Amino acid sequence: PQAKLIFAISLLLGTTIVISSNHWVTIWAGLEINTLAILPLIAKSHHPRAIEAATKYFLTQATEKEILLFSATTNAWYTGQWDITQLTHPTACLILTSALAMKLGLAPFHFWFPEVLQGSSLTTALILSTAMKFPPMTLLLITSPSLNPTLLTSMAILSAALGGWMGLNQTQIRKILAFSSISHLGWMVIIVSYNPKLTLLNFYLYALMTTTVFLTLNVIKTSKLSTLMTTWT
């Protein structure tokens, strides 16, 4: 219980640091705390698949955070600004768009998300699908005027298409929900350039629906479609 409490507090702390600071280094530190807090929760069951999921999550998140830091450093090198709202250099904007796409699990950087969700428990999968998406979503909303619209829209359309198609032939419920999440994010990211408030509303609705589904599945102890067929009996 103490360890779980520490991880929960760290998750809240990391998220709070990210959404309340406007300096790139503190945002990077907040994301780092978040990742370190969720890793033990993914690997908790000591199953080989859970360990593999934790390793995949760690590697992709480490890569994404270094790309984000590289983007901030590039911008600081050319403009002398570490402020989150002063992202003006085109190269830095392009790199940041890729970093946020990897963090959120947008196509073509979506490959890690279904695998990690499949190796986690339903409760951890819920945290990964909702709470862990909140900090990068906040960053996306704040930096949306600076991001590369062409790249963002291309990735969003690809995500919406891939999420729909790849979810069709799955039998594992967590994978279906992972592809559903990728698809939802695609739609959110398409809107973000034009109306950030609408994206936020979409995100809240998505979080509400996902939480409901995961908690229901957790109560009936379901992880495969075949189990769902016999739930009623």
Count of domains observed in the chain: 1
Name the token pair of 11: 């998750």
Q: Report pTM.
A: 0.91
Whole-number Å distance between alpha carbons of 210 and 204: 10
Helices 196-219 & 173-192 angle (0-180, nearest 10): 170
Whole-number Å distance between alpha carbons of 8 and 14: 10
* 3-state secondary structure at position 163: helix
Whole-number Å distance between alpha carbons of 68 and 72: 6
- The answer to whether residue 214 scores a pLDDT higher than 90 is yes
Report in angstroms the alpha-carbon separations of 177 from 34, 62, 166, 217: 22, 24, 11, 11
More confident residue, 111 or 45: 111
Average pLDDT over residues 9-34: 94
Query: Tens of pLDDT along 52-101?
Result: 999 999 999 999 999 999 999 999 999 888 998 888 889 999 999 999 99
Query: Tens of pLDDT along 153-212?
Result: 999 999 999 999 998 988 899 999 999 999 999 999 999 988 999 999 999 999 999 999
Q: How many CB atoms lie within 10 A of CB 150?
A: 11
Whole-number Å distance between alpha carbons of 35 and 11: 8
The parent domain of residue 92 ranges over: 1-230
Q: How far apart are the first and last CA of the chain?
A: 34
8 Å CB contact between 18 and 34: yes
pLDDT value at position 70?
Answer: 95
